Amino acid sequence: MTESVTYKNILAGAEQQGDDDKGYEEAYLGDHLRFKMRRDGKRFWAGDNISDYLHEGDIEKLIDEATPAFEQVLDALLIDRENDPNSKGTARRLAKMYFNEIMSGRYEPAPDATAFPNDSADRYEGMLVVRSELRSMCSHHHQPVSGVAYIGIIAAEKLIGLSKYTRIAQWCARRGTLQEELCNDIAREIQKATGAENLGVYIQATHGCCENRGIMAHSSLTQTTVLQGSFKTDPGAKKEFFDNIKMQQEYASK
Ligand SMILES: [Zn+2]
């Protein structure tokens, strides 16, 4: 396959120049990045963030490389992309949509969440529950996942802006995900950003792969919960979290 030839070229180029970032100019950037991630043992599953491997301008190159690949898919589906006016340009639209929108959380670094100190005498010690709208995509079928995450923390030594909870949740969601994984990912990233040990994430979502195909269940709803620290061990904290969610659901704009 062309891929292995490309890897050899990359290796040769890297050896000659003594720099593993060089020598890929003639090769596909996608091949080069895959090579580097495999070499480093870096996982690059649909739900993984690979922004550390990308440089300025790489996304545009990757979109250019993905466009003919999507053209091949359309051709394989026997869609006349030359004469069908609605299918002209679809391959490029798909390439851009994957990189810039529905999977953007794989390629962009974590949102900047400036932390503010919460260590004065009148520090906030209560529970904070934020409702975040989510749009994601299942990695099994590439069908849309749509729902809401409720993120609860007991404030620790620092606080982040309220909109940052949703930015972090969306950054985790804009990938190919499983809802179970997504719940864990959001909990981990919120923990990193806030330093809170006591936290909970509850997601309620509908899945295109259950609605548009397969069982065609139009009202299916999937719920997942991750609880850590006192949210897990203290029934009072757990109840307060779920009571907050119920109140949010009652007052949230439908
Ligand atoms: Zn699915």
What per-residue confidence (pLDDT) applies to 21?
55
Ligand 1 centre from 198 Cα, in Å?
31
The β-bridge partners of 152 are 129, 200
Contact 94, 111 (CB under 8 A): no
What per-residue confidence (pLDDT) applies to 220?
81
Tens of pLDDT, residue by residue over 55-103, are: 999 999 999 999 999 999 999 999 999 999 999 999 999 999 999 999 9
The one-letter amino acid code at 223 reads Q
Number of DSSP helices (H) and strands (E) in the chain, helices first: 10, 7
Ligand 1 centre from 143 Cα, in Å?
6
Contact 90, 81 (CB under 8 A): yes
- What separation in angstroms does the CA of 219 have from each of 201, 202, 205? 22, 19, 10
Main-chain phi, psi angles of 218, to 5 degrees:
-75, -20
Ligand 1 centre from 1 Cα, in Å?
30
Ligand 1 centre from 95 Cα, in Å?
20
CA distance 245 to 139: 27
Ligand 1 centre from 69 Cα, in Å?
22
CA distance 249 to 254: 9
What per-residue confidence (pLDDT) applies to 16?
46
Ligand 1 centre from 210 Cα, in Å?
7
Contacts of 174 (CB under 8 A, 6+ apart): 101, 102, 103, 104, 105, 106, 135, 136
Grouped pLDDT means (10 residues each) for the chain, 254 residues: 46 47 68 96 98 97 98 98 97 98 98 90 93 96 96 94 96 97 97 96 95 84 96 98 95 71
Ligand 1 centre from 144 Cα, in Å?
8
Ligand 1 centre from 134 Cα, in Å?
16
Ligand 1 centre from 141 Cα, in Å?
4
CA distance 104 to 197: 28
CA distance 94 to 79: 15
What per-residue confidence (pLDDT) applies to 17?
43
